[in-house]
Structure 1
């Protein structure tokens, strides 16, 4: 039996952002799904069937939404510590972990992301990992671009992806050059 889940929504510049959480074994919230929608019904189908809650109650607010507001306020690293739970095959689960290592303000191409995943020839599989990511923002699939530098796709629309990339570029820490 899947544990009960809660959902809540917060306003963001590109639109309403909703999150579905469950409680981890340590009592802390874990994100199952997130995205730019005001309707929780848009999120539940992307949760793996083994994790999909049988019911979800409206929480009004959730602590993770404070993190979203910090991100929107310019702390683009705030999302890095949010716990997520996704299930699939080994490549997708590994790829989702690797997505969390793509720095804000320094997007990868699908080819570079595939190489980062240890499978440089698996560009389509890398793109599939982005497309099947249920925890948008916290697993930042928006940080992966087409090989031509174009936006590529995004479940929540390319205007949202463009806003995220521009926001992160504006607020990301400037990397310190390494001297040779």
Structure 2
């Protein structure tokens, strides 16, 4: 039976919860206080059977607090563990390389992911991302400059982009 630890942090845009495995890698995260909902976003091969509440996840909690306080690079070195097919795993790695303050379109994201014709697949990588913030899918928007979708709501996506010093619209 696998176990993951989780902790919730109060942020300017609501509660943020992260789940980590035994090595401290983020399995899932987002602007919610519902750890069980986050657990269900994790690929079945990595999904913990049980969750244990912690007051803090150490480095991960500090990175969440520091990011929301203005140090947008604080999330860059946090280890993330997600599983899926080769394209999605690669696309999530590409997302982690999109710099704060320099968002891209879904078309540009597809190009950076090595499949310029696969714009829908690139959008799907954003939609299937369980580790929000640490895999910054909020840094991808539509070609027409609108925000597109975001699991945690467009007001949160808008806040994140403004917090990072940019807004595509």
Is this a same-fold pair by TM over 0.5?
yes
SS of structure 2 residue aligned to 1:6? strand
Q: 1:138 aligns with which of 123, 134, 140?
A: 134
Q: 1:89 aligns with which of 72, 85, 92?
A: 85
Larger radius of gyration: 1
1:5 deviates by 0.6
1:16-61: CA deviations, max 9, x gaps? Answer: 000000122xxxx100000000111220111000000000010111
- The within-5 A match list for 1:1-180 is 1=1, 3-24=2-23, 29-63=24-58, 64-169=60-165
1:71 deviates by 0.5
Unaligned residue ranges in structure 1 (runs of 5+): 171-180
Q: Work out the number of aligned pairs and report it.
A: 165
1:4 deviates by 1.2
Unaligned residue ranges in structure 2 (runs of 5+): none
Q: Could you state the TM-score of these two structures normalised by the residue count of structure 2?
A: 0.95
SS of structure 1 residue aligned to 2:15? strand
Runs of 4+ in 1 over 6 A off after TM superposition: none
Q: Could you state the TM-score of these two structures normalised by the residue count of structure 1?
A: 0.90
Q: C-alpha distance in 2, partners of 1:46/1:38?
A: 14
1:78-118: CA deviations, max 9, x gaps? Answer: 10000000000000000000000101011000000000101
